[in-house]
Chain A
């Protein structure tokens, strides 16, 4: 139970202020989700052949520099940039090698996101605190998703916060409550998908990752999701090139979309969209049930 927000920039001017806008949208959703908050920002792509991961450790004084030196010594050159109690690590090592090394040498560190451009920052606490802890307002990027959480059936933890990432450059935020996620979780684990929490949203994210790994397009995966995922949901999915929005066939959980020449936005409540420039003149609609709405950078 929560608030979700999404923003896709169509102009450079919006990209420059992406972090600022998504932060304002997020804070508008504070009442719906006081327990934790998170954003996924797509920005600053790494060169082909490199990997970018966002890592987390609860201790703000964690020795990230030492960790970067470890990767450099053992695998390939790496740099690390601290942001709050997360750190963005960029390296020429492959993601698989990096993952294996982290598991062996630094099991105390969590991988929050991985990919070419995605950066996820999430933490327990009210949205305004999360925004300042990660200095989100200064970020520039092409698109972003955000989430404020009121935990329903799982614990309030950093790991239990959204956005969830179970694949490269993939993330999912969710408002609602799934009803068949427990059996699905077991099945996904059998297919090799790593799921860390008891959270229903992570199951949905894992499901998408699995379908994509089987060769589905995002649209195909979401279409199958309508059949396989039961319950009430508004999903916003982030991919390397864009984002998609889907509501379940009953469509009780709210969702509002808006589009101008400069941006496309979605939110659980209109007032999160109202903070954007030009919102008053935007085309506004509510997504129909069981229908996938998507935007990509190439095919706007």
Chain B
């Protein structure tokens, strides 16, 4: 006897995925941990469009009519600011969460494109320092692998208060990824689950962060820029305080930002989307007359040159990519299908970085899997992806009549939804309505 499908009523509150999750928790007695970023739909750059040239505005021709993409970061205090050829950087991802081949590939591609990579919660590896011409060194609550030699080898230092996937949370690396090499770098026993601090050990609060930043400058002879990175929550206050504490660059990571391992509830339910975060950050900078004097890098779900264009139009100086860079290297590529199946997933749906069994060898410490990612080949792919994004960015910027991508402005856009209009303070297309802007 077959079931009449008309009688099958799904519940919005308790759809099959939620029921499965409840039963998993009932089995395991612990929260679900996974990789990547927020998967549910949130208002984002897809809800904004750019206003190309028309009768009142004139576009630029491709090729001969320049559209420049260079940006300088950190001139506020540093003797050696960072000059990037493109406004797209590679976000912090740890050696430990990623394998050595992946880190090397990121470095090679970034160097070829004239941009930077960033270390993560495990410290700096020689491979990454060698392969990446411009390397930003993170100072995290855990301080794994932190040392003054690497600090001095870095081209910038990034004080990490938090990240978009888990603002208020610390790093996480599960036992099967704590190999001998990772364990040695982090001063941990092999094979245990890493518990991480969520606050810095020697400072709490912006008043103390200012003193910490000064210490870092004293150790690095005031040569290099100091960034402050926050996950997007109370972004207006955070950016204001970061500037007051002495940051040269502020990095704001929206809730779509990825991770290699964090509780699912943290990823999905903490933090605001990148879209309002950019606007809040820029407003804070403008109020202090620091826009373009302290640079803003935004990250969290940047996927294409269109996203980059819109982030810059809202006032960012550059963006950072994490998940997208991994995908360019092969994350979720439809190959090695049996290995995806062994994890209980399919290409396009995989978020199993935390298992260390990455089918494409990106987010793993396992030698047999890592060999699937050849650094040179990975680098070529990432370089191509970055090149493509930059071409997209320039195409859109030229269409808006810009000779430099940083000349994009909010008035070059319109919003497709009321939420995006309110969050980005960009009028709803066809109207001049920004919800809340003029008291209505």
Q: Chain A residues in contact with chain B, CB under 8 A?
A: 1-3, 31-34, 150, 152-153, 175-177, 232, 252-254
In the complex, which residue of chain A has the Cβ closest to the Cβ of B234? Answer: A153
B237 touches A31 (CB 8 A): no
| Stretch among B40-48, B204-212, B356-364, B403-411 lining the A interface | B204-212
A152 touches B241 (CB 8 A): yes
Q: Which of B205, B241, B244 has the largest count of A CB atoms less than 10 A from its CB?
A: B205
Interface CB pairs A-B, < 8 A, 10: A1-B241, A3-B207, A31-B210, A32-B207, A152-B206, A175-B207, A176-B205, A177-B205, A232-B205, A254-B208
Q: With A2-B207, A33-B207, A232-B204 in contact, is A150–B241 under 8 Å at CB?
A: yes
Tally B residues with Cβ within 8 Å of A. Answer: 12
Compute how far the CA of A2 lies from the CA of B208 in the bound complex, rounded to whole angstroms: 9
7 closest Cβ contacts across the A-B interface? Answer: A1-B207, A252-B204, A32-B207, A1-B205, A1-B206, A153-B237, A150-B207
Q: Nearest-CB distance from B167 to chain A (Å)?
A: 14
Contacts A2-B207, A176-B205, A253-B204 known; list 11 others, CB within 8 Å: A1-B205, A1-B207, A1-B241, A31-B210, A31-B211, A32-B207, A32-B210, A34-B244, A232-B205, A252-B205, A253-B205
Q: Chain B residues in contact with chain A, CB under 8 A?
A: 199, 204-208, 210-211, 234, 237, 241, 244
Compute how far the CA of A254 lies from the CA of B211 in the bound complex, rounded to whole angstroms: 13
Q: Nearest-CB distance from A178 to chain B (Å)?
A: 12
In the complex, which residue of chain B has the Cβ closest to the Cβ of A35? Answer: B244
Kindly list chain B residues whose C-beta atoms are within 8 Å of the C-beta of A2. Answer: 207
The listed residue (B199, B208, B210, B237) touching A152 by CB distance below 8 A is B237
In the complex, which residue of chain A has the Cβ closest to the Cβ of B244? Answer: A150
In the complex, which residue of chain A has the Cβ closest to the Cβ of B206? Answer: A1
Kindly list chain A residues whose C-beta atoms are within 8 Å of the C-beta of B210. Answer: 31-32
Kindly list chain A residues whose C-beta atoms are within 8 Å of the C-beta of B237. Answer: 152-153
Q: Nearest-CB distance from B199 to chain A (Å)?
A: 7
Kindly list chain B residues whose C-beta atoms are within 8 Å of the C-beta of A153. Answer: 234, 237
Q: Which of B199, B207, B237 has the largest count of A CB atoms less than 10 A from its CB?
A: B207
Kindly list chain A residues whose C-beta atoms are within 8 Å of the C-beta of B205. Answer: 1, 176-177, 232, 252-253
Kindly list chain B residues whose C-beta atoms are within 8 Å of the C-beta of A232. Answer: 204-205
Compute how far the CA of A200 lies from the CA of B356 in the bound complex, rounded to whole angstroms: 44
In the complex, which residue of chain B has the Cβ closest to the Cβ of A254? Answer: B208
Kindly list chain B residues whose C-beta atoms are within 8 Å of the C-beta of A152. Answer: 206, 237, 241
Q: Nearest-CB distance from B153 to chain A (Å)?
A: 29
Kindly list chain A residues whose C-beta atoms are within 8 Å of the C-beta of B206. Answer: 1, 150, 152
Q: Nearest-CB distance from B56 to chain A (Å)?
A: 39
Q: Nearest-CB distance from B270 to chain A (Å)?
A: 15
Kindly list chain B residues whose C-beta atoms are within 8 Å of the C-beta of A252. Answer: 199, 204-205
Compute how far the CA of A296 lies from the CA of B210 in the bound complex, rounded to whole angstroms: 35
Q: Nearest-CB distance from B206 to chain A (Å)?
A: 5
Q: Which of A1, A34, A177 has the largest count of B CB atoms less than 10 A from its CB?
A: A1
Compute how far the CA of A298 lies from the CA of B340 in the bound complex, rounded to whole angstroms: 76
Kindly list chain A residues whose C-beta atoms are within 8 Å of the C-beta of B199. Answer: 252
Compute how far the CA of A76 lies from the CA of B212 in the bound complex, rounded to whole angstroms: 55
Kindly list chain B residues whose C-beta atoms are within 8 Å of the C-beta of A176. Answer: 205
In the complex, which residue of chain B has the Cβ closest to the Cβ of A153? Answer: B237
Kindly list chain A residues whose C-beta atoms are within 8 Å of the C-beta of B211. Answer: 31
Compute how far the CA of A32 lies from the CA of B246 in the bound complex, rounded to whole angstroms: 12
